[in-house]
Amino acid sequence: MQPIDVIRLSEKQKQQLITLKRKTGIDNWNVLCRWALCTSLADPTIPPKENIPSDSNVEMTWRTFGGEYYEIYNAICIMAFKKQNIENSFLSFLKCHISRGLSYLLKENNLII
């Protein structure tokens, strides 16, 4: 499994992040992406397999994505990837979880800060 250096989001995910920024007042996309990832990983079901394009100008290094705990996020993601035993690439696995998590967060009414 290759380590993830950079995550580039889709245009749809970018628009979802803009909405979440407005809804929560949180300015940093990496924080919202971490919330989305953790929200999705908390759901024991496997997210739907999607071919998520990297067609936006939003990208971040894995170190930026995970912040000071990037190594912990990496370990959690590797464990979940192995546990779910799916045929996606690790990057595709992460993007599917971020996508599902963003959808979950957008449906949540108690996110206003």
Is residue 2, in this structure, part of any structural domain at all?
no
Give how many domains the chain has, as a whole number.
1
Is residue 1, in this structure, part of any structural domain at all?
no
Q: What is the pTM of this model?
A: 0.91
Q: Which domain holds residue 38?
A: 7-107
CATH of the domain at 56: 1.10.1220.160
Please state, in angstroms and rounded to a whole number, the distance separating the CA atoms of residues 13 and 48: 15
Is residue 113, in this structure, part of any structural domain at all?
no
Closest CA to 65 of 23, 105, 97, 111: 97
Token readout for 47 is: 């997210």
Is residue 112, in this structure, part of any structural domain at all?
no
Please state, in angstroms and rounded to a whole number, the distance separating the CA atoms of residues 21 and 62: 20
Is residue 99, in this structure, part of any structural domain at all?
yes
For 8-44, what is each residue's pLDDT tens digit? 999 999 999 999 999 999 999 999 999 999 999 999 9
Confidence at residue 3, expressed as pLDDT on a 0 to 100 scale: 72
7, 96 contact by CB (below 8 A): no
For 52-108, what is each residue's pLDDT tens digit? 999 999 999 999 999 999 999 999 999 999 998 877 789 999 999 999 999 999 998
